[in-house]
Amino acid sequence: MNPQGQSDKNPQGQEEALGLAAVARHRAARALARAERAEAAAERHERLAVGRGREFHLQLAETHRRSAASHRSSAGLQEAFARRTAEWAGSRGDRPRFMTGVAEACGVDSAALTLVDTAQNQLAVAVSDEPSRAAQDLEYLLGEGPARDAACELRAIHATGPAIERRWPGYGPALASLGIASVAAVPLETRGSCIGALAVFAPLPDRVMSAALSQVAAALTRIVLLGPDADPELYGGTNHRESVQQAVGMLSARLDCGVGDALALIKARAFAEEVPPEVIARRIVNGDLNPD
């Protein structure tokens, strides 16, 4: 109860939260079952790795081991989200974010998942907290940064201290102003393509490179985003920048320019005013701003 004698709980929100927690627990149980099946398959191939065909069976065993690790990592992420959501259960504060558990699994405070199309255009983002949101907004506005490089180059990216500003002349100084001194990103790879990147951020140098980063990225790619229990929305935590897309269309028609030019205008205005692009987009959609 609060000082006025009113409940701090939101009954409708509590029911929704407990429902989400139940879904997450069910997905965690399914992921653990898949992990156990993969481990059993790995053991079977390891037993068969004698004489002729040894290398073949060992390769299959290793594939199953990697798959099991991804399933177990996925289960851990789902369980962490279920626990936080059940504890929150309709309180007046903000609902827990799935990406908060991702950041914890990577050993950092801040993490961001970025989804891209085949041309490396950012389609959506999910973040763990406000620093990661600000960092990802900067990358979206400036067109440079660790997630973009990881997805384009299909390799892990790591920069710390002054190296951040040397690598990204526009993004680096802006990131430093957020108090972030270390960044790392790994691609979310599928067969023959890349759907995005997982980036992590820390206020201290060399806090972000851990063995868990690639394993968590594999879990997000294969299980959370593409597997049997795929959920690209991450329990409602994914931002598809719908307002930006709407504003781009309106501005393109209004100014008789291409959508790329319209998007560039919105990004430039957002960077100049130091606000998220969605803020500028909403003002355009509402007729309060014409950034020509």
Answer whether residue 221 shows pLDDT above 80: yes
Q: In whole angstroms, how large is the CA radius of gyration of the chain? A: 22
pLDDT, tens digit, for every residue of 267-287?
888 888 888 888 888 888 888
Task: Select the more confidently predicted residue: 10 or 27.
Answer: 27
CA distances, 194 to each of 76, 113, 152, 267 (Å): 24, 13, 8, 25
- Bridge partners (DSSP) of residue 91 are 9
Mean pLDDT score, 116-122:
84
CA distances, 33 to each of 105, 127, 263 (Å): 20, 28, 45
Which pLDDT score, from 0 to 100, does residue 4 have?
A: 46
What pTM was estimated for this model as a whole? 0.85
pLDDT class of 148 with cuts at 50, 70, 90: very high
Strand, helix or coil at 97? coil
Task: Select the more confidently predicted residue: 14 or 31.
Answer: 31
Which pLDDT score, from 0 to 100, does residue 292 have?
A: 55
- Residue 183: left (phi > 0), alpha (psi -120 to 50), or beta? beta
Which pLDDT score, from 0 to 100, does residue 208 have?
A: 66
Q: For the chain, which residues make up each domain, given as ranges?
A: 11-96, 107-235, 242-285
- Tell me what percent of the residues of the chain surpass a pLDDT of 90: 55
Residue 81 and residue 18: Cα distance in Å, rounded?
Answer: 11
CA distances, 162 to each of 18, 141, 209 (Å): 45, 21, 17
Which pLDDT score, from 0 to 100, does residue 2 have?
A: 47
Task: Select the more confidently predicted residue: 226 or 151.
Answer: 151
CB hemisphere CA count around 87 (13 angstroms): 8
Here the tokens at position 194 are 């890349």
Which pLDDT score, from 0 to 100, does residue 9 have?
A: 56
pLDDT, tens digit, for every residue of 160-196?
999 999 999 999 999 999 999 999 999 999 887 899 9
Task: Give the CA angle between residues 192, 198, 202 to the nearest 5°.
Answer: 155
Q: Where are the beta strands (DSSP E) in the chain?
A: 110-116, 122-127, 157-160, 182-190, 193-202, 238-239
pLDDT class of 101 with cuts at 50, 70, 90: very high
Q: What is the DSSP string of 159-213?
A: EETHHHHHH-TTHHHHHHTTT--EEEEEEEEETTEEEEEEEEEESSTT-S--HHH
**Could you name the CATH architecture of 107-235?**
2-Layer Sandwich (3.30)
Maximum pairwise Cα distance, the chain: 77
Which pLDDT score, from 0 to 100, does residue 97 have?
A: 94
Residue 74 and residue 108: Cα distance in Å, rounded?
Answer: 17
